[in-house]
Structure 1
């Protein structure tokens, strides 16, 4: 007769499970691979709070580079501005929300509630920050750099753009036209932004780059060239902290290289023309040059030009999308055309590396994930909206802001803290095959109720 072995006591089972977990999580190489597969910076921040050993791995610069390569910065949503009534109307549109980011989306959506009574315009959005101008009832404006994802909604009032610089003209009959572009840097202390001021005349083009430092405008670089370019029809600009690109009205791209103080001109890709406002948009390439997104009829084309080449022959068509196909589920079957160009399809915004595109199509705002070829209608314009003014994507804060590492904490104590982490949380790491988990620990900066 077989004698059944009694189940181990709960304490012994817990000890055995903890030993099994320790054999995995105690291995630094395996732990890094687990952390690498969390997928969201919010999850990485929570994992870093388990203990200092996890924090050390999660905040290591080499690990952060691997994490970014595997999980590009995540789009949370977009601020949509319409010209409803006497003042622009601003609203937040969550894009493909996931439960873990629901609280961040709510915070972003409620951020402009504090600006009630004032009209607000978003000039730029970068790494979870916004460059905003508000107008009161007397039409007085205030420039602010805002952090809508932070718990306190961090806001810093900054000076308005600098006055136009004096530009020497070749003769008294020349007419000078100024054009401004305002941009947030990738990383800063929350109180800085760039301003590019361009002066056009009949014989020359001059560009000044200003940076706000300690609440004062400082000229970082300038360049001039004998290029009689016309000002652009629309604000198709791109600034990557080293080069400034602007689409001119002559179907050319003006390139200002600030390190070398030089100005040059790029041709558009073969067959691409700036026929109407909204048919071309430029995109940063994460250090790999720039992308150009072009829409014609129901065709969306994506071109790439390498970082070290401004030769027009170095534009390469890297992607082609038929909007009729990817938007078939959106009940948009008619494509009215005027002079061979689709008058009802416009590009509103693009992501870095042209990963996503926002389109205005037949009275609707459509989000297109270029990688997955999936399109979603995120907003239907109403008669009260009158006209779509802008779409500004809001990305999650990157890189994550980790808590400071305190000294005097040895490896043995760190390992002990890891083993004392809630038992269910540890099991979830293994159960989900090292791809995702939710750590029930105290929250940290910017994601306190996620």
Structure 2
């Protein structure tokens, strides 16, 4: 009798209409979590597929999203490359983009569940949510549309806890052919207002190397990095200059890296403990550097860590070089293209996994998001695909 009372008391909390959502809300943000919970009973399934609960689930895990994989730029267009193992592995076709002129699309950025693409055919941005399938088309702001000799780049982001609105930062450089000299340009779009803001610019000093005048689209240097309320780009893949955009003050600035990093493969990153950092690959090693500001306001760079890739990944330096293709901000993982394929390396634990055997990938944009397969992409079909991989 006492045993029955104990079982009844243990089951009671799960019958509480207010408590059960709070329990399921705290399941790990892995793609298989909610589909598995939905198998318990009809009541759990109803809750795990409720649109309101799914919104809460995504917001709750916004600060610790899993790395679902990455979107890669290949010769034929843009495709999704999964990073997780079964049962959490998202089938590539579930996060696919169907559009005309896909080969004319240029992948710019993935952040906060959005993918930012430049549509060269229509000269506009496409902001795409692969989880819900929502697409937003934004005309390039007029100053960028009319200026000659510029190449468009950009970043997408949204505020913590906001799943309805987003911002796009359009950025470019204006080169030597312009009558008023060299400048970096920026403009911010808000989906809340549906408008582009004022044009923001800063002068590029004439003393800098002539190779700095374009943020170009064929190397990892175009990948924007968000650190606090700053966005960062490097101006070229062989420069020692970082372009900083302050989201709060709406201003642009230039930051120099050490001269020795000039010829290396550079990637701006969020350093350990926060703040601006960068890594570069040279002679099969990765060096991680962090920018520090003294009490007198003087900035300097400090070496934080060195990783010997040839020993870690068992690579033969004589067979090919390594290139940095991307960086996952929330999971602190760097993506490396080697002669045997694409690797994702976690910079703290040094754990790594091989994602692809191909060497043809030129761009790699990590996609960190909460995937809710049951309702948002494909209903019952999306749920069964994950569970069949278990």
Superposed pair shares fold, TM > 0.5:
yes
Task: Verify: 1:78 aligned to 2:70, yes or no.
Answer: yes
CA contact (8 A) 2:107 2:117 kept: yes
Q: 3-state SS of the aligned residue for 2:365?
A: strand
Larger Rg: 1
User: TM-score scaled by structure 2?
Assistant: 0.70
Q: Distance in 2 between matches of 1:147 and 1:370?
A: 28
2:261 aligned to which of 249, 254, 273:
273
What number of residue pairs does the alignment pair up?
355
Structure 2, unaligned stretches of length 5 or more? 39-43, 384-390
Pick closer, same or farther for the CA change 1:204–1:141 going to 2, 3 Å: closer
How many Å separate the matches in 1 of 2:198 and 2:294?
A: 22
Kindly state the Cα deviation for residue 320 of structure 1 after the two structures are TM-superposed.
2.5
Partner secondary structure for residue 144 of structure 2: coil
Measured after TM superposition, the shift of residue 296 of structure 1 is: 1.0
Q: CA deviation at 1:149?
A: 1.7
* 1:303 is the counterpart of 2:289: yes
Deviation of 1:312 after TM superposition, in Å, equals: 3.4
Over the aligned positions, Cα root-mean-square deviation in angstroms equals 4.7
User: SS at 2:317's partner residue?
Assistant: coil
**1:327 counterpart (295, 313, 333):** 313
Tell me which of 178, 202, 224 is aligned to 1:224: 202
Deviation, 1:282, is 1.4
Structure 2 Cα separation of the partners of residues 189 and 23 of structure 1:
33
Q: How does 1:50-449 map to 2 (within 5 A)?
A: 72-83=64-75, 88-102=76-90, 105-108=92-95, 111-112=96-97, 114-115=98-99, 118-119=102-103, 120-134=105-119, 143-150=125-132, 153-164=133-144, 178-187=150-159, 189=164, 192-200=167-175, 205-211=183-189, 213=191, 217-220=195-198, 222-225=200-203, 227-228=205-206, 229=208, 230-232=212-214, 234=216, 236-237=221-222, 238=224, 240=226, 242-248=229-235, 250-257=239-246, 259-260=248-249, 263-268=252-257, 270=258, 272-276=260-264, 279-284=265-270, 288-305=274-291, 311-313=298-300, 315-328=301-314, 332-335=315-318, 344-352=321-329, 355-362=332-339, 364-381=341-358, 387-397=360-370, 443-445=374-376, 448=379, 449=382
**TM-score by structure 1 length?**
0.62
Which secondary structure state, in structure 2, belongs to the residue aligned with residue 184 of structure 1? strand
Contact 1:42 1:447 in 2 (8 A): no
Cα offset, 1:324, TM superposition: 1.3
- Cα pair distance change 1:117/1:14, threshold 3 Å: farther
Is the Cα–Cα contact under 8 Å of residues 225 and 262 in structure 1 kept in the other structure?
no
Taking a change above 3 Å as real, the CA distance of residues 56 and 16 of structure 1, as seen in their structure-2 partners, is: farther
Separation (CA, whole Å) in 2 of partners of 1:76 and 1:107: 12
Contact 1:144/1:156 (8 A) holds in 2: yes
SS at match of 1:344: coil
Q: 1:192 to 1:304 in 2, by over 3 A?
A: same
What is the CA distance between 1:95 and its match in structure 2? 0.6
Whether the 8 Å contact between 2:126 and 2:138 is mirrored in structure 1 is yes
Structure 1: any 5+ residue segments left out of the alignment?
1-7, 168-175, 337-342, 401-441
Please give the per-residue CA displacement for 1:308-342, whole angstroms capped at 9, x wherever unaligned.
998431x34333221112212xxx32345xxxxxx
* Deviation of 1:347 (Å): 0.4
Distance in 1 (CA, whole Å) between partners of 2:272 and 2:116 is 21
**Deviation at residue 368 of structure 1 after TM alignment:** 1.6
Aligned equivalents of 2:186, 2:279: Cα separation in 1: 27
Distance 1:191 1:64 in 2: 14
Q: Any conservation in 2 of the 1:122–1:133 contact (CA below 8 Å)? A: yes
Seen in structure 2, the aligned counterparts of structure 1 residues 147 and 34 have a Cα distance that, compared at 3 Å, is closer
